[in-house]
Amino acid sequence: VRFPEDLEDDNTTFNPEYSHQVFGDDEVAFGYKGLKILLYYIAGNLSTLFRIKYTSKVNEKFDCVEADDVESKIREIIPPGFCTNTDDFVSLLEKEVNFKPFGMLLHTYSVHNEEAGEDITYQIYKADMTCPGFREYHERLQTFLMWFIETASFIDVDDERWNYFLVFEKYNKDGATLFATVGYMTVYNYYVYPDKTRPRVSQMLILPPFQGEGHGAQLLETVHRYYMSSPTVLDITAEDPSENYVKLRDFVLVKLCQDLLCFSPGKLMQGFSQEMVMEAQQKLKINKQHTRRVYEILRLRATDMGDAEQSRSYRLDVKRRLIGPYKKKQRELAKMRRCLRPEELTNQLNQIDLNMQHEQLEESFQQLVSDYRRVLERLAQA
């Protein structure tokens, strides 16, 4: 909500992707007809208005069953101090002009908005719990995780090893410049013996109204650049990354790596090298596993897949990496031959069908190439 009229504007409304963490695996609230759970957030500081509407509700006295206590379920997620009255909420909205982003400005960029016919400015900040008001703001911000990240949990904000990176949109209202929350990322700094840290991306969310505009890539690249400048950082990783996050990371890391000398076309065609591992880690804080994916994507770009020899060379190179888990199965099979009875061995052999492995390997390769091509297409448009 930026303006009072947004309260009644369906265009500013977006729905949750998940609700199982609040309402159970079936995502059901029992005992209501026409139930609407309404959560309004002021665009910048995320002050909250919470209301429930329904046309009818079962009654314990007459229906002998009790409706789910929806209000208490929502209250468990949203922090105290929310509004239940529209007038109170609108009066808070009038004070929004005083809201300013928290922490240190790291990056400013603009995105052309077709609808508005103009460039809109965005800023990325790094904050921590010492910023006045940030703790309360973060409590409101993290409520979105429950609706948009499948296995979300709230973090221990008293642990000083957390870093917070925030994206804001700058917009004008009655001649004043205001800020709207776009998304954020939390990063935990793990200790690595003897004197390094390994920042690990824990949570990342771009709010639905802003998705598909490139903010995730801007945020991840900014975070990488922030840690790249630190001599104590070993490399940057992610905790249980989603498929979409992996695709985003591929794009950002390839963009960062493509100008390194070790990734020149001539060197790419010679194969994956220790030089690539060292340079990517030292200059860009990228670990070996991620560097290998960057190499495969850039080598695909340098490869003429219409040339039979180049295509075969690329396919074998990628499949040598993909075959690792299958080779592990073969080693396990060799151990089984030595210690299993014949009937047990036959049972295990049935599970490790070589033809099936070859099919799975080819399927994995084709899927990977398809993903890599999408990264290269996006890179060409950047």
Active site residues: 239
3-state helix/strand/coil string of 258-290: CCCHHHCHHHHCCCCCHHHHHHHHHHHCCCHHH
Residue with tokens 């099936």: 356
Residue with tokens 């790249």: 228
Q: What is the CA radius of gyration of the chain?
A: 26
Tokens of 282: 């030292």
Rounded to whole angstroms, the Cα distance separating 304 from 43 reads 48
Q: Which residues pair with 364 in a beta bridge?
A: none
Residue 82 makes CB contacts below 8 A (sequence gap 6+) with 47, 48, 49, 50
Tokens of 376: 């290269």
Q: Beta strand 36-41 with 104-113: parallel, antiparallel or unpaired?
A: unpaired
Rounded to whole angstroms, the Cα distance separating 238 from 250 reads 13
Contact by Cβ (8 Å): 224, 236: yes
